[in-house]
Structures are given as C-alpha cells and as structure tokens.
C-alpha cells in the first residue's frame, strides 16, 4: 500500500473546540484549552503517524477582527492555514448561528479541496436540534461533508479520522514518523504557563501577557526551567504576583503539575515577571515571540 500524507487545517470561530479536537486526534495536550477566546495564538502542528499515513493537523487561533498587531499576526496564521491545506476542517458548534467573517467564510465555501464541517459539542444538544442544525449547515456550506461530533467526549472523532485517511493524498511523510509537533519544548512550557494565567486572572490580564522560557535544562532525573511572564504595565505586574506572591505561586504550582505530566519527568520551575511596554503592538517584540511569519 502506498503511503499517504497531508495537511489538515482546523479553522473556525473562537471557542468552538478546535484545540480540544486536535488534542483528541493526537492523544496529547499539545494545545492549551480554556473557555476564553484567544487562548490559542499560534498555528500549532499536531502529527498523527501510522505505518501507512501521516496526518499533520494545524490548530489555529479563532477567527476575529484584529484590534492590535498581535491579533493581526494571529489572523495571518489562519490565512496561512488556508493556503497549504490538503483538507480543511471547518469547526462550528451547536447553537452557533452566523459566521462572523465573510472573507474567511467565502474561502470555505469556494474551497477547491475537501471540507469537513464538524458540528461540535453535540453532547449539549438533543436529536431534534441536531438534525435541524445539520440541515442548516448543509444549506450554508454545500461543499462540505458534515460530521456531528463531541471533541470533549471523543464522540465520532474516530469516524472523522477514518474519513481524513480516505481523503489524504498519496505522499511520502512530511516529518519524521516519530514527530508529534513542530514546536520546541520551550513552546509548551510557555503555553502551559499562559493557560494557568488565562484560568487564574480576569479581564485584560491574560491578553496583556506573553511568556518566554529562558532556560530549559534537561538532566537525568529533572528538568530545570526558568520562565518570564511579560506584561504591558507595572500595575499588571503587581496583579500577576499578587499579595505576598501568592497568585504567582499558584500559577507556578499548577504549571509544574501539568509539565510533569507532559514531559513525564520531575520539574523545577522558577517564574519571573517583567514589564515589556506595549509588546502587543511592537513588531520587534512580536517577531521575537514568534508571531510574525
């Protein structure tokens, strides 16, 4: 049997479950997940390898109207996911009505490649609503094959994977057959810390934060990590650290627990907080953090 391989790019509105799906497909927590929009800021590869195929999934940020330079870069990641896809996954969720962005929507309905429309979160639906929504989406996106799924409960995910394998082009693998992702270890440290910030702080704080890992030293029995949380203003620094450092300590403990599972090793982590004025609109800083392609 000839080998198949291709890029399967997942796009959709914020919070529909794109990252949850990619993690379910890969079987690893590559993408962080929270109930907040803009949790995912990058395009992240998750690679599924089998003897006869290699699927390179791309998780992408939810589609939004950019309000600052960071968000413009985030939407550039989404655009790039359109340009190199062999198969497009357009994810929507039960109860979602309108597509917010016409430009992206037009790209989907006029796509020259297979489009799988995944109607997610059907665990929150009933049969009647489900049937009505499948019909409505089929009318809106006639070129798509529709799969009702629950990424969270792993319902119908295997069926989607089987269909992807059928649709994959014949090709040698793009990455080594033991590769799981394109991102380095430090990326997952940064993202894990950012997830804890999204979960522990309100309002604008998570959106003003970037994380950079300055040191990642793997020893025989332990990984030693030094990371920096960057904020835009002094007041935000105080909030991140909290009374007597309690808030930051909590972030560190939660991140460490996740990272020990992810790397399957004991972790020692130190986290510092620095002010990096207006980094979200600074081209140099954005490039440094991997946002400008």
Residue numbering of the annotated binding site for GTP: 12-19, 59-63, 120-123
Q: How many residues bind Mg ion (CB under 5 A)?
A: 3
φ and ψ of 30, to 5 deg = -80, -35
**Cβ 22 to ligand GDP shortest distance, Å:** 8
Closest CA to 191 of 36, 53, 32: 32
**Cβ 125 to ligand GDP shortest distance, Å:** 10
State the sign of the Cα–Cα–Cα–Cα dihedral 126, 131, 136, 142. Answer: positive
Question: Which of these segments, 15-23, 68-76, 80-88, 99-107, binds ligand GDP (CB under 6 A)?
Answer: 15-23
C-alpha 195/C-alpha 150 separation (Å) is 22
From candidates 109, 113, 134, 152, binder to ligand GDP by CB under 6 A: 152
C-alpha 147/C-alpha 160 separation (Å) is 7
φ and ψ of 155, to 5 deg = -95, 125
Query: H/E/C letters for each residue in 43-70?
Result: CEEEEEEECCEEEEEEECCCCCCCCCHH
Closest CB to K ion among residues 15, 49: 15
Residues of this chain that bind K ion (CB under 5 A): 15, 39
Closest CA to 10 of 120, 94, 141: 120
Question: Which of these segments, 32-40, 48-56, 180-188, 283-291, binds ligand GDP (CB under 6 A)?
Answer: 32-40
Q: How far, in whole angstroms, is CA 256 from its chain's centroid? A: 20
CB atoms < 10 A from the CB of 205, how many? Answer: 17
Q: Is 20 in the site for ligand GDP (CB under 6 A)?
A: yes
x/- track of binding to ligand GDP for residues 55-74 (CB under 6 A): -------x------------
Which entry of K ion, ligand GDP, Mg ion, none binds 124, CB below 5 to 8 A by partner kind?
A: ligand GDP
Which entry of ligand GDP, Mg ion, K ion, none binds 151, CB below 5 to 8 A by partner kind?
A: ligand GDP
**Cβ 210 to ligand GDP shortest distance, Å:** 18
Q: Is 14 in the site for ligand GDP (CB under 6 A)?
A: yes
Q: Is 164 in the site for ligand GDP (CB under 6 A)?
A: no
243 CB-contact burial (10 Å; exposed 0-12 / middle 13-18 / buried 19+):
exposed
Q: Is 257 helix (H, G, I), strand (E, B) or coil?
A: helix
Q: Is 17 in the site for ligand GDP (CB under 6 A)?
A: yes
C-alpha 68/C-alpha 75 separation (Å) is 11
Q: Is 40 in the site for Mg ion (CB under 5 A)?
A: yes
**Cβ 170 to Mg ion shortest distance, Å:** 31
From candidates 40, 49, 71, 73, binder to ligand GDP by CB under 6 A: 40
- Mention every residue, 6+ apart, whose C-beta is less than 8 A from residue 157: 21, 24, 25, 149, 151
Give the nearest residue (CB) to ligand GDP: 17
- Give the interface with ligand GDP as residue ranges (CB under 6 A): 14-20, 33-35, 39-40, 62, 120-121, 123-124, 150-152
- Give the interface with Mg ion as residue ranges (CB under 5 A): 18-19, 40
């Amino acid at each position: 049997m000839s080998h198949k391989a291709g890029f399967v790019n997942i796009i959709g509105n914020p919070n529909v479950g794109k990252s949850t799906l990619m993690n379910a497909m890969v079987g690893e927590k590559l993408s962080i997940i929270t109930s907040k929009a803009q949790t995912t800021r990058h395009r992240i590869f998750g690679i599924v390898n089998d003897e006869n195929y290699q699927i390179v999934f791309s998780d992408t940020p939810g589609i939004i109207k950019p309000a600052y330079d960071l968000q413009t870069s985030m939407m550039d990641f989404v655009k790039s996911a359109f340009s190199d896809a062999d198969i497009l996954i357009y994810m929507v969720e039960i109860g979602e009505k309108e597509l917010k962005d016409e430009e992206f929507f037009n790209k989907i309905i006029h796509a020259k490649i297979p489009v799988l429309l995944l109607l997610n979160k059907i665990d929150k639906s009933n049969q009647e609503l489900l049937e009505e929504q499948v019909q409505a989406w089929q009318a809106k996106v006639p070129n798509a094959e529709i799969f009702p799924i629950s990424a969270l409960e792993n319902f119908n995910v295997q069926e989607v994977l089987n269909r992807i394998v059928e649709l994959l082009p014949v090709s040698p693998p793009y990455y080594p057959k033991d590769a799981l992702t394109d991102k380095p270890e430090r990326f997952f440290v940064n993202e894990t810390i950012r997830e804890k910030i999204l979960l522990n702080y309100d309002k604008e704080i998570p959106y003003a934060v970037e994380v950079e890992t300055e040191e990642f030293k793997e020893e025989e029995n332990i990984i030693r990590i030094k990371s920096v949380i960057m904020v835009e203003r002094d007041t935000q620094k105080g909030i991140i650290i909290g009374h007597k450092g309690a808030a930051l300590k909590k972030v560190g403990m939660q991140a460490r627990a996740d990272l020990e599972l992810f790397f399957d090793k004991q972790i020692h982590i130190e986290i510092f907080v620095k002010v990096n004025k207006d980094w979200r609109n600074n081209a140099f800083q954005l490039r440094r953090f991997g946002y400008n392609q």
